[in-house]
């Protein structure tokens, strides 16, 4: 990666150090989706220090053992570069490594770098990222509980307890995992609504655990429950299948398995999703998440970002949400900008922040401090990172 010509501004802050924090917490009781349970909660934090001494943090989604090597390589190219040159840095890497495809761990690695660069620049200027990302238009957002995970034996009593805990926290909207079989899917959806109460709103998530026929059979049994949306009924590449599921007339959501503008372009243009769900920690960072949101609005689609990581990923998602317009609606009508609040056990989520992001009666305040608006507990992250995977790259 070549440096910028001197005439473009030698006094601009540059990246002087990059440090990575691969994190992993082994779960005593694994939980997950109908596709399978996960053995651990994971994530990789990225810390960037600028030539002026400011620090920016980001997060890369995915297995640290895949993401960390890419982060090390990109960090060496990043040191010495201006902190505000984000898009060109990432797109050049993608273009030069086109044979690696437009998705995967290398894009997740770039996502963490992008978020950290935004954080560093915003902290340099003393403003929240939202002020630079398009302007803050809201200071809080309603949240839905991402819960109802599949546990061992898919126990319905355990499922009810999960939803009861979300309702006790004040959540009136929840997204649950289904895709087990039509009978179990119906049972879980009914149990969720019973726990959420008469004003509860329900989203259902298949995590692509099905075929067109199995999903349509399951969904026909849920139509009378009027789910707010149906998430990932199929893999994103099964284009003809999305068109067939659409015949049932339910709102479809997707995007968490897609990367960058190139991955979202066709599904959005072809109308596969009603609700577009970029994840800043994997789709290319806040730069790409914002661009993907604008692409969605171009096709008159709604946006509801995906978020399933540590407190750093949460803060990045909230900064994005602070800037998203009310499009495509005007003064009246429409739906709220929802924040996905994972309520599964994850000590990393709260542990990485000096003051964790917490819900209050189903609402989450958008951090208003500089950058991401939160403070990372660097010592906690350093103590808990996976040995042998972390890196520290500094300018000479």
Q: How far apart are CA 253 and CA 307, in angstroms?
A: 14
Going by C-alpha positions, the residue among 324, 323, 313 that lies closest to residue 282 is 313
Position of tokens 């473009």?
8
| HSE value, Cβ hemisphere, 13 Å, CA-based, for 14 | 16
Among candidate residues 131, 306, 384, 392, the one labeled active-site is 306
Catalytic-residue membership of 384: no
| CB contact burial 94-131 (16+ within 10 A = b; e otherwise) | beeeeeeebbebbbbbbbbbbbbbbbbbbbbeebbbbb
Whether the ω angle into residue 11 lies within 30 degrees of 0, i.e. cis, is no
Q: How far apart are CA 33 and CA 37, in angstroms?
A: 6
Q: How far apart are CA 362 and CA 170, in angstroms?
A: 5
Cβ proximity of 284 and 90 under 8 Å? yes
* Residues with active-site annotation: 306
């Amino acid at each position: 990666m070549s440096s910028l010509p001197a005439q473009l501004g030698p006094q601009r802050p540059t990246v002087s150090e990059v440090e990575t924090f691969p994190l992993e917490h082994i779960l005593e009781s694994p939980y997950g989706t109908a596709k399978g349970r996960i053995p651990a909660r994971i994530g990789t934090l990225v810390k960037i220090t600028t030539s002026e001494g400011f620090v920016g943090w980001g997060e890369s989604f995915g297995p640290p053992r895949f993401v960390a090597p890419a982060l090390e390589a990109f960090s060496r190219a990043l040191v010495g570069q201006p902190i505000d040159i984000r898009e060109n840095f990432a797109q050049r890497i993608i273009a030069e490594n086109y044979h690696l495809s437009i998705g995967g761990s290398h894009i997740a690695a770039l996502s963490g770098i992008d978020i950290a660069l935004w954080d560093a620049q915003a902290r340099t200027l003393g403003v929240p990222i939202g002020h630079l990302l398009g302007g803050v238009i809201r200071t809080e957002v309603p949240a839905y509980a991402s819960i109802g995970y599949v546990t061992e034996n898919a126990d319905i009593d355990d499922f009810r307890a999960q939803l009861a805990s979300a309702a006790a926290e004040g959540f009136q909207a929840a997204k649950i995992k289904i895709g087990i079989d039509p009978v179990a899917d119906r049972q879980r959806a009914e149990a969720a609504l019973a726990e959420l109460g008469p004003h509860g709103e329900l989203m259902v998530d298949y995590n692509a655990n099905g075929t067109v026929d199995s999903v349509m059979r399951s969904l026909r049994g849920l139509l009378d429950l009027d789910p707010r949306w149906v998430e990932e009924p199929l893999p994103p590449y099964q284009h003809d299948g999305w068109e067939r599921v659409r015949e049932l007339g339910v709102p479809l959501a997707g995007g968490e398995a897609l990367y960058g503008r190139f991955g979202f372009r066709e599904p959005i243009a072809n109308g596969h999703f009603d609700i577009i769900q970029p994840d800043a920690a994997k789709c290319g960072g806040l730069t790409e998440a914002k661009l993907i949101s604008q692409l969605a609005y171009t096709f008159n689609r709604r946006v509801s970002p995906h978020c399933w990581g540590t407190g750093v990923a949460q803060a990045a998602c909230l900064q994005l949400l602070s800037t998203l317009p009310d499009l495509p609606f005007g003064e009246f009508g429409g739906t709220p900008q929802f924040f996905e609040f994972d309520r599964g056990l994850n000590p990393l989520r709260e542990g990485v922040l000096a003051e964790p992001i917490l819900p209050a009666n189903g609402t989450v305040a958008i951090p208003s401090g500089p950058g991401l608006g939160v403070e990372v507990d660097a010592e906690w992250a350093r103590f808990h990172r996976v040995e042998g995977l972390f890196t520290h790259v500094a300018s000479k």
